[in-house]
Structure 1
Amino acid sequence: MLVLRSDLVDAIVAHARRDFPVESCGQLVGPETGEHPERYVPMTNADEVASDFAFAPAEDIRLERELDAAGERRMLVVHSHTRLPRRPVAHTGLPEAYPSPKDVAQMEWTPDQHWLIVGLATADAEPEVRSYHLADGEVVEDELAVVESYMFSHTGSDDVPDRA
């Protein structure tokens, strides 16, 4: 299960709304040895086509250097999908927030990374937030839990703290 803090998801969705109808993009990053992302780094979409994304190379290299210096790593690639005439409407039965063939090709470069996609039909539409990774070359959707804090994310809603 992929667990993300709600403030990170809120920042990602706000970025997607700001950049709409162009796809937004960014990275969720966290400690080199940690299991949860701690911050969202919005990035510039350098792609010339509104229904695709590409990280600006200089910005991507600068981020990599900053992460190395801070002992952090990239944990999730983030981008939005917007419905434009170029993107086929979900007649395939797949959700809008599903990796495109180009996304899948890029996922193959870093198969250990998860990809978070925000589907937006309009800038003010209800966002569809989903995460995916590759397993044996196949796209697999992650079970996604959005929590207020990572501190108790491993407990269920019926758990209560022990009292001394």
Structure 2
Amino acid sequence: MLTLTQALYDRIVEHARQDHPDEACGVVAGPAGTGRPERFIPMLNAARSPTFYEFDSKDLLKLYREMDDRDEEPVIVYHSHTATEAYPSRTDVTYANEPNAHYVLVSTADKDGLGEFQFRSYSIVDGVITEEEVQVVEAY
């Protein structure tokens, strides 16, 4: 189960809606070993695409060095789908290389009247997708 604060939930959704019609992406880091998402880090979609996201390799390297310096790890890796449901694509599964992270997908298809808003979380390990319950709390 993914537990996150209302403030983090709102920031992820806001970023997804703000970058629409392109996919948004980012990370929420937390203290290593806790599984607690704390620090919201919106990233630039280097692909600038409505159907694909890609972290800029230099930005990603900088982020991982910063997390190492702060004794953090990526607790949530998030991105949006702009015209489809919030379910990992084959490409998403291929890029899922953090076995302990929660992969959050936000569908912004509702923004264009194409579907219902969705915020969903998954565990993706060795190509296996498992949907997780999402619990939103006011504070930890």
TM-score, length of structure 1 as denominator length: 0.77
Q: 1:144 to 1:68 in 2, by over 3 A?
A: same
Structure 2 residue aligned with 1:97: 86
2:131 to 130, 141, 160: 141
Aligned partners of 2:2 and 2:135 also within 8 Å: yes
Aligned amino acid, residue 114 of structure 1: H
Contact 1:18–1:123 (8 Å) recurs in 2: no
Q: In terms of mean alpha carbon deviation, does 18-27 or 132-141 score higher?
A: 132-141
2:117 matches 1:127: yes
Counterpart CA distance in 1 for 2:48 and 2:12 is 21
Q: SS of the residue aligned with 1:16? A: helix
Higher helix share: 2
2:22–2:48 CA contact under 8 A, matched in 1: no
* TM superposition shift of 1:124: 7.5
User: Displacement, 1:123?
Assistant: 3.5
- The answer to whether the 8 A contact 1:2-1:143 is kept is yes
User: Secondary structure of the residue that 1:51 maps to in structure 2?
Assistant: coil
Q: Work out which of the two has the higher radius of gyration on C-alpha atoms and give 1 or 2.
A: 1
Mark the runs of 5 or more structure 2 residues left unpaired by the alignment: none
TM superposition score normalised by structure 2? 0.90
Please list every run of 5 or more consecutive structure 1 residues that lacks an aligned counterpart in the other structure: 84-88, 90-95, 151-164
Q: State how many pairs are aligned.
A: 138
Instruction: Work out whether residues 21 and 122 of structure 1, in 8 Å CA contact, stay in contact via their aligned partners in 2.
Output: no
**Paired residue for 2:106?**
118
CA distance, structure 1, for counterparts of residue 126 and residue 20 of structure 2: 33
Q: What are the equivalent positions in structure 2 for 1:13-162 lying under 5 Å apart?
A: 13-83=13-83, 96-107=85-96, 109-123=97-111, 127-135=117-125, 137-150=127-140
